[in-house]
Structure 1
Amino acid sequence: MRGVIVAGGGPVGMLLAAELGRLGVPTTVVEKLAETHDEPRAGTLHARTAQSLLRRGYLPPPPRPGDPHAVVEVPFHFGGRPVLTVESPAIEGAPMINQAQSDIERFFEAQARARGVEVRRGHRITDVRDHGDRVTVTTDHGELTAEYVVGCDGARSTVREAAGITGTTHPATFAGILGLARLADPARVPGGWTQGPTGWTLINVNAAGYSRVLTHEFPEPLPERGAPVTLEELRAAASRILGRDVPMSDPVFLGRFSDFTRLADTYRRGRILLAGDAAHVHAPLGGQGLNLGLQDAINLGWKLAMVIAGTAPETLLDTYHAERHPVAEAVIENTRAQAALMRPGPEFEPLRALVADLLSTPDGNRLLSDRISGQGVRYCAGPGLDGAFLPNFVLGEQSVAELLSPGRPVLLLGSGMHGLADAAAGWKDGVDVVEHQHDLGAPAVLVRPDGYVAWAGRGAEQAIAALTTWFGPR
């Protein structure tokens, strides 16, 4: 019997599989597509995703800056307007990495296969059943059995439907078209975001080849979801928004999108879990969906591995929903806010101007920058380090990211905390202990494999309680 079956081999499913394979969990990916499709979809890894992948060893260590407090800034947009600056600590590397989603998927698939994961492409899942002590997955090629199944199979998830997991939805307010086509006169087409009388365009102009064209309009009624798209429909929408004819030809991709949202009411039902678009869908504004799903995979991977290995209690899996569900709620809220700001009409201009003024302030920019980039996520409210993401400090010869790359929790002990090493000895098979001479804000810090702080303090009893809570009895 397999440890985990991952339903869906997109970037989220492949990253989860790579994580599980890396941690020694027998894993099978079941994907209906025979090969990765090159489509002009998401292509931005935001700061917290990059920081998490750095800690998991998927990105090379960044150059260490001369100033440990240096910050890297990148201009960004909110609701189509260039009113935001995303920033991150220089010790973490760039706050954004531009990479095609198909390339990201291929990279994680290669990582998964290299770690012994079985990838079954061209297999379609038809049913999933939780038997209490195992889960069976029925495909058009036969039946598979595993301890757990994770649905990473997209917005129309078969796993979610089979598990009977309901969701909270908000109807669409705009109709979007995404196309990859040749522009007849690229010099006259504005690149980037452009506002017009009926909506917005976002165009990545390529004078020598195919341009990526997105239109966002607010018609009534909205077109049916899944209705076929024609090149003429894309051309007409772009022409209405820009106020002049935008001839184009030779499309290699056409698709629809909207700001319809769905958030699963639970991410776990027994031995069935959800991640990525199977758990949450929203408007593709700010490139947040891919990042949200990848961070689901990073949060869930080490927890599943520890539970299956018996080094952590099964209740650890309940923290997955508790931690990731509110993050998805926040992303849905900000994408809905962006859609509202993008509504055409002079009556919305004062609102757009007010938001621009608020984002021109350091506090306003930081608040929204941290939400878009994921750097505002912490898994425990209140003061102190508990639940916070530990920065990539250099502790002696290794950074925090390098210490975490094996995928094990790390107990960091500052000066005078040697006695806690003895208290933690019962967890030596699952937790690394590292002594250092740096000020981390607490004398002892227990860091989870995903880089978040499980506990910070000084007392041996509190340390033992935290180790037991997260990683089971000694």
Structure 2
Amino acid sequence: MHDVVIVGAGPVGLFLACELGLAGCSVLVLEREPESRSPWKADPLGMRGLSAASVEAFYRRGMLHPLLAASGVHQDPGANHDADEPSPPRSVGHFAGMMLDPAKVDVAALPFRLPSPAMDGVMTNLEAVEAVLSERAAKLGVEVRRGITVSAITQDDESVVARAGEHEYAALWLVGCDGGRSAVRGPAGFGFVGTEPQFTGYVVLATVADPEKLRPGFNLTPTGMYLRTPAEGYIGMLDFDGGAFDRSQQPTREHLQAVLRRVSGTDVTLSDVHLASSFTDRAMQATTYRQGRVLLAGDAAHIHSPLGAQGLNLGIGDAMNLGWKLAATVHGDAPDGLLDTYTRERHPIGAWVLDWTRAQAAVMRPDPHAQAIQAVIRDLLGTRDGTTYVFEKISGSSLRYDLGSEQPLVGRNAPDLHLENGTRLGDLMRDGRGVALDFSTDRRLRDSATGWESRIRYAAGPARNDLGFGAVLIRPDGIVAWAGDRTPDREAFEQAAGHWFGTPATKFQEHT
């Protein structure tokens, strides 16, 4: 019996498998697709944008450079990571098809931002992401079995079993990472609630007889939206038909051409369609992310339209948050209630993303009211404050979990604190442990408790920019659990460490 069975070998399932494997758990991943390669994963159809927060997750686990190489990116996102101050982002995305100007981002207004090798988002594709994660998973001893379709889930107080045909796969825990049509969610008894769609979207790879009739980029029109990308023949469309086109149907060339003509207001001709798929903005979320020994992550826990490119990033955030908590539970190190904080912390983030995509769909509707709102939003995005606000949201910079502390750094993604000896926080997080950074001159926290050597790495010394803190305690997912002043309180530190990492066992291992 495995410690954890993960259903779904997409980016979220593989990232979670890597987190668990890094912590020494035995992990089996079951995937219904017999092959990993697909034209829907390669460029241009598989193109995805990773937010700065997601890129940072790869960086902190030592996978940033393999990801950049696999993605064909020849410059680090944070090329000026040794500068004293962070530089403006090179790209910032869009809101409802309205592009943002990177020059209008007020970097100084972003909370606790420090230069890092992972400062910006990265354009990649699913094939590259899965290749990097698959290689890492294999090195960590994770087993992936393909061509296996899970049909039933049963559990008791001691274990959970996934059934696929005549085969049963038992584990202490099971996580559904198998997408919006999850085979885990329903059988395990999860509620799934939300809103019905307003539009049908299409992704098309076609031969266009007269491409000059389509303007490049995002185009909001009185009848919908279309996107023409630099990739030849790659077109996106939104048709506000109430989601009437059933995804189970295969869109024909005639249907796609009619939709494109309607939303573009042109008589453009599709002479051939090579690949096409449809989607809607149906927005649904599981009412909880845990039922007994079964958990959900990624699209299995929440579905929404791809507006704003939040889906993959939301799923990677789920995996980072869940991985260390589930591993601690498997090993018996978790304090009471640790695993329940997964739903408590991630469910509000999922709910926000659903609302973020709903807002964009509402703004893009082809009616006079929505078009009036578009004009207002364009004016707001033309300002420094408006652009900075949207960038904070889509980059992950504004994320903060409510950990019950008024200290403004607690609950946030830790900045890449840089010790004067050259060590960065990202360097210290590669083994998946938490990190205690002690900037006090007397190394005040080193002997403050019996210690958590197997769960927390201790590092001491002055920092290039300590942001005014004397010490910080950082969870394995990069979230600040506690922050002390110039003379950090040992008792407060011990209380925070015990709250997140359980009973101390051995002394800290000092990083050298």
Aligned partners of 1:113 and 1:340: how far apart in 2? 43
Aligned-partner residue type, residue 46 of structure 1: S
- What whole-Å deviation, never above 9, does each CA across 1:75-112 have from its counterpart, x for those lacking one? 42211112454778642435221111132122212221
* Residue 391 of structure 1, aligned match among 415, 429, 443: 415
Aligned equivalent of 2:447: 422
Aligned partners of 1:147 and 1:362: how far apart in 2? 50
Aligned equivalent of 1:466: 496
Aligned partners of 1:456 and 1:90: how far apart in 2? 20
Aligned partners of 1:250 and 1:12: how far apart in 2? 34
| Distance verdict in 2 for CA 1:431–1:424, change over 3 Å | farther
Aligned equivalent of 2:9: 9
| Distance verdict in 2 for CA 1:34–1:249, change over 3 Å | farther
* Residue 70 of structure 1, aligned match among 81, 87, 95: 87
Alignment of 1:177-326 (within 5 A): 177-207=202-232, 211-219=233-241, 222-313=244-335, 315-326=337-348
Aligned-partner residue type, residue 467 of structure 1: A
- What whole-Å deviation, never above 9, does each CA across 1:169-214 have from its counterpart, x for those lacking one? 101011111111222233333221112231000122444xxx2211
The 4+ residue runs of structure 1 with deviation greater than 6 A are none
* Residue 162 of structure 1, aligned match among 166, 180, 187: 187
Alignment of 1:26-37 (within 5 A): 26-36=26-36, 37=38
Aligned partners of 1:183 and 1:24: how far apart in 2? 52
Aligned-partner residue type, residue 83 of structure 2: G
Helix, strand or coil for the counterpart of 1:464? helix
1:461 Cα deviation after fit: 1.5
| Distance verdict in 2 for CA 1:175–1:89, change over 3 Å | farther
Aligned-partner residue type, residue 196 of structure 2: P
Aligned partners of 1:94 and 1:186: how far apart in 2? 36
| Distance verdict in 2 for CA 1:466–1:383, change over 3 Å | closer
1:359 Cα deviation after fit: 2.4
1:280 Cα deviation after fit: 0.5
- What whole-Å deviation, never above 9, does each CA across 1:195-253 have from its counterpart, x for those lacking one? 2231000122444xxx2211101125722343321122111111112222222244332
Aligned-partner residue type, residue 198 of structure 2: T
Q: Check if 1:45 corresponds to 2:50.
A: yes
Q: Check if 1:153 corresponds to 2:178.
A: yes
* Residue 451 of structure 1, aligned match among 465, 478, 481: 478
TM-score normalised according to structure 1 size? 0.94
Q: Check if 1:130 corresponds to 2:155.
A: yes
Which structure carries more strand by proportion? 1
Aligned partners of 2:336 and 2:162: how far apart in 1? 21
Aligned partners of 1:91 and 1:117: how far apart in 2? 30
Q: Which moved more, 1:284-293 or 1:369-378?
A: 369-378
Aligned partners of 1:26 and 1:314: how far apart in 2? 23
Alignment of 1:318-357 (within 5 A): 318-357=340-379
Does the aligned pair in 1 maintain the 2:436–2:473 contact within 8 Å?
yes
Aligned partners of 2:269 and 2:321: how far apart in 1? 45
Q: Which moved more, 1:297-306 or 1:147-156?
A: 297-306
Does the aligned pair in 2 maintain the 1:33–1:123 contact within 8 Å?
yes
Aligned-partner residue type, residue 369 of structure 1: F
Does the aligned pair in 1 maintain the 2:200–2:242 contact within 8 Å?
no
Q: Which moved more, 1:130-139 or 1:215-224?
A: 215-224
| Distance verdict in 2 for CA 1:92–1:168, change over 3 Å | farther
Helix, strand or coil for the counterpart of 1:74? coil
Aligned-partner residue type, residue 91 of structure 2: V
Helix, strand or coil for the counterpart of 1:419? coil
Aligned partners of 1:400 and 1:426: how far apart in 2? 20
Does the aligned pair in 1 maintain the 2:197–2:242 contact within 8 Å?
no
| Distance verdict in 2 for CA 1:236–1:56, change over 3 Å | same
Helix, strand or coil for the counterpart of 2:366? coil
- What whole-Å deviation, never above 9, does each CA across 1:240-278 have from its counterpart, x for those lacking one? 122222222443321111110001100111111000000
| Distance verdict in 2 for CA 1:89–1:226, change over 3 Å | farther
| Distance verdict in 2 for CA 1:326–1:110, change over 3 Å | same
Aligned-partner residue type, residue 174 of structure 1: F
Aligned partners of 2:151 and 2:353: how far apart in 1? 30
Aligned partners of 1:379 and 1:259: how far apart in 2? 27
Which structure carries more helix by proportion? 1
State how many pairs are aligned.
Answer: 471
Aligned-partner residue type, residue 18 of structure 2: A
TM-score normalised according to structure 2 size? 0.88
Does the aligned pair in 2 maintain the 1:292–1:328 contact within 8 Å?
yes
Helix, strand or coil for the counterpart of 2:427? helix
| Percent sequence identity over aligned pairs | 38
1:117 Cα deviation after fit: 0.7
| Distance verdict in 2 for CA 1:287–1:468, change over 3 Å | same
1:120 Cα deviation after fit: 0.6
Does the aligned pair in 1 maintain the 2:14–2:133 contact within 8 Å?
yes
Aligned partners of 2:345 and 2:453: how far apart in 1? 26
Aligned partners of 1:446 and 1:437: how far apart in 2? 16
* Unaligned residue ranges in structure 2 (runs of 5+): 66-75, 108-112, 505-512
Aligned-partner residue type, residue 450 of structure 1: D
Q: Which moved more, 1:407-416 or 1:419-428?
A: 419-428
Aligned equivalent of 1:441: 468
Aligned partners of 1:339 and 1:95: how far apart in 2? 26
